[in-house]
Amino acid sequence: MANSPAFTPVNLLTGFLGSGKTTLLKRLLTEPALAETAVLINEFGEVGLDHYLLERIDETMVLLQSGCLCCTVRGELADALRDLHSRRERGLIPNFKRVVIESTGLADPFPVLSTLKADPVLRHHFRPGNVIATVDAVNGMRQLDTYIESNRQAAIADRLMLTKTDIADEEGLDLLRERLRRLNPDAALLSTADGELDVAGLFDEAVATRGSIAQSPSGFYCETPAMLETADGGTHQAAVTSFVMSVEGAIDWTAFGVWLTMLLHRHGERVLRVKGILNLEGEARPVAIHGVQHLVHPPTHMAAWPSDDRRSHIVFIVDGLDASLLKRSFEAFTLAGPVSSLAGGAPSARQDVQTS
Ligand SMILES: Nc1nc2c(ncn2[C@@H]2O[C@H](COP(=O)(O)OP(=O)(O)OP(=O)(O)O)[C@@H](O)[C@H]2O)c(=O)[nH]1
């Protein structure tokens, strides 16, 4: 295709669970300079909601199967990129000049980058762009303390993007900045709240160095930082699992709000992420809800239902918390009918994530 670059940059948007990747992506995609962007979304969990929460669906947006890019979806990533390239060449989809991959909040970015290098077709048409890692100013310190994935994401990034500085306390923020500078002194440390932020400039530019990671002559990255290897060979923390609760019929908002607040108050340490699209009593439009550990974000109305499915779907990513307990307490609190579908455990798409 005439206007497509010889090597299309593939940018990676990473960052721990709930740290604001989709929010940033949504903002980026409204930038006129970034109009020609293909988006690949990968989510940890049975049911992906991010493509709905992004509220942009077209043929240059690809949802990668559930499972984690760094563990089980790498072949699919390569296939998706090859397919996008081939359809662009044949003029079947709008031209795109860059790719952005939004990874799961638990992804290790390194294998994603090496997928580009390993594939004989991809390396002739794509090149690495930038790795942008969002870091939650409220929960980031605890996540760095607890989850190796969070450290890997921050260590490999070209740009560290602090989010939620508007609701974080100053003292904690200073400590987090210091820690991030120590972890990755070469990355630009930015904030989504910065009015001067050059959003378009976050992408594409190939960078000469990437922290302590060596760059091969072909421009791809060939070493993983040894200091961040996990004892179990690099898979996710042992007890992290995800499940979805799907609920028929409208939910009472007050009861739901009390339940969620109590849940996160009591078990916030272990609820790494909760997000959902809710059908609420008295509301024509769906409402998106987000929680990250102890933090409940204000709910937002979505523009419209993304499909004919009018059920509420609530996705949980938990660390060592029993799905059936959550289901029972949800039913008791909200007096909702039985939760119609409850996926738990470790399905084949994410076998690398062990259940305890
Ligand atoms: N106050 C505030 N809230 C934010 C900011 N960035 C994101 N959020 C909120 O944080 C919640 C999670 O944001 P998402 O963008 O869905 O996070 P994510 O990293 O894509 O989440 P996962 O893909 O599930 O890991 C949402 O309720 C956002 O509105 C910010 O800078 N300030």
| Other C-beta atoms lying within 10 Å of the C-beta of residue 69 | 28
Question: Tokens for 317?
Answer: 């990513």
Q: What is the pLDDT of residue 289?
A: 94
Angle among Cα 172, 174, 178 to the nearest 5 degrees reads: 115
Ligand 1 centre to CA of 178 (Å) is 22
The binding-site residues of ligand 1, defined as CB within 6 angstroms of any ligand atom, are: 15, 17-23, 50, 105, 134, 163-164, 166-167, 192, 273, 275, 290, 297
- Predicted confidence at residue 292, as pLDDT, reads 92
Spell out the domains of the chain, with CATH numbers in brackets: 8-228 (3.40.50.300), 240-350 (3.30.1220.10)
Among 11-15, 50-54, 194-198, 222-226, the range with the most confident prediction by mean pLDDT is 11-15
Which of 14, 16, 22 to probe ligand 1 with, by most ligand atoms within 8 A of CB?
Answer: 22
Reported pTM: 0.80
Classified as helix, coil or strand, 182 is: helix
- Better-scored residue on pLDDT, 40 or 206: 40
Q: For atom 6 of ligand 1, which residue has the closest CA?
A: 20
Q: Pick the atom of ligand 1 nearest to 19's CA.
A: 19
- Indicate which atom in ligand 1 lies nearest the CA of residue 193: 31
Please tell me the distance between residue 356's alpha carbon and the centre of ligand 1 in angstroms: 28
- The residue whose two tokens read 């795109």 is 96
Structure confidence by residue, pLDDT tens digits, 15-27: 999 999 999 998 9
Calculate the alpha carbon distances from 261 to 148, 271, 274, 333 in Å: 27, 12, 11, 12
pLDDT in the model for residue 348: 26
Ligand 1 mutation target, pool 161, 290, 313, most atoms within 8 A of CB: 290
**pLDDT band (50, 70, 90) for residue 160:** very high
CA of residue 40 to ligand 1 center, whole Å: 18
Q: Per-residue confidence at 346, pLDDT binned at 50, 70, 90?
A: very low
Burial (CB count <10 Å: 0-12, 13-18, 19+), residue 354: middle
- The pLDDT tens digits of the residues spanning 46-88 come to 556 776 776 665 666 666 655 555 555 567 788 888 888 998 9
Tens of pLDDT, residue by residue over 237-266, are: 557 888 889 998 899 999 999 999 999 999
Tokens standing for 198? 């050059």
Specify the 3-state DSSP secondary structure of 56.
coil
Confidence at 209, pLDDT banded by 50, 70, 90: very low
Q: Where are the alpha helices (DSSP H) in the chain?
A: 21-28, 50-53, 74-89, 109-118, 122-125, 140-146, 148-156, 170-183, 253-267, 323-334
- Give the position, in ligand 1's atom list, of the atom nearest the Cα of 17: 25
Residues 6+ apart with CB under 8 A from 340: 246, 247, 248, 311
Which of 23, 49, 264 is the pocket-test mutation for ligand 1 (most atoms within 8 Å of CB)?
A: 23
Average pLDDT, the chain: 79
Tell me what pLDDT residue 44 has.
67
Nearest CA to ligand 1 atom 1: 164
From residue 241, how far is each of 24, 44, 259, 270, 323 by CA, in Å?
Answer: 25, 9, 21, 11, 9
Residues 269-315: tens digit of each pLDDT: 899 999 999 999 999 999 999 999 999 999 999 999 988 999 999 98
The helix/strand/coil state of 129 is strand
Please tell me the predicted confidence (pLDDT) of residue 56: 60
pLDDT of amino acid 171: 95
Q: What is the mean pLDDT of residues 173-179?
A: 97
Best residue among 277, 297, 315 to mutate for probing ligand 1's pocket (most ligand atoms within 8 Å of CB) is 297
pLDDT score at 211:
38
Q: Is residue 184's pLDDT more than 80? A: yes
